[in-house]
Structure 1
């Protein structure tokens, strides 16, 4: 792939803008030598303004989503894409969220431009566990864990019972839930079904991947080791 097209697909600018960047000497190799649009150089050896290029197609990143942001490109209000570098929004193929967190839920949110990887993560066959920590409006009764683990709980408007879920008590009004499904507003609806209300909700892990101290509103790129942790394939 020609370097102009490569940088344009990575979101650094239109092809015309990228061509101008070459003329300005902003594109170099790892040694700092200026590159030209028709040069053939490995992706890893290209620098833009002195920095390595973003990963090629297949990029996966993690965001610690704050409350108040919507997983959309078009909704009114604050959008999760505003927390990423603007060039990420211009990538081709496009960068998409892997599933969604509602506006009032914070925590671990993944993005990728790899459609196959996205579907692999969200597929029920992958059995990627989703771990949430919930703060509740009322004290726990004591029977919630058994109900959630039973595999018989029906949510309002649903025709099939939920798969068994694990609940750990963290405090009188705090609980950690581990789910293998991803139904609409599932955690909130589960607690509503047992007469409680979720006051605050955070997703803290997906599979073996956790936030690992990533500050709220910050993001980081994930590598092959992270993906192995996500699917639980580390050795």
Structure 2
């Protein structure tokens, strides 16, 4: 499983390895979640994640273990849900934990593509509805912080910054096979712009993650205390 499918580009050499019986379905993506969780591929211009951003800026000098902390925090908070005795409050807490989990994905997993951010959109409406239905412990400040940051996800990524022949951003390059494009970009042509492009998505989702953990923590603290 560790070598199901991979593109390896070193200089002008490209090697492809795969198992044909597995690559034809989506199993490879699920296995990548396991195999690539502790790996950074920060030079891949398609990834918009916090690990990719930090590792690119820090030249790979930050331990990938640091990015597992959001998952550990989520695990600790999720265990606390069992101590909420009211079923309605417990269901709301479980939903907020799911929102935290989606946000934590972008803070922990390196290979997050930009289209993955669409998974955050439904959480905005559902959190607002849950807040309006009432229940002790909802933090209004955390809600406003979450929604304000989420609004930035609706702003288009400024790809027009990269419309420069000097960066090989042209129709001729786009018509080449994917491995050829990666060979071109391996020369670090996007180094100056790539951190800015990633920050366009990474900054809002980091704030959203902090707000969602804040929201869940405040809700659990209030409801567990009430139950006691």
Higher strand content, 1 or 2:
1
Higher relative contact order (CA 8 A, sep 6+): 2
Both proteins in one fold, TM over 0.5 = no
Higher fraction of helix: 2
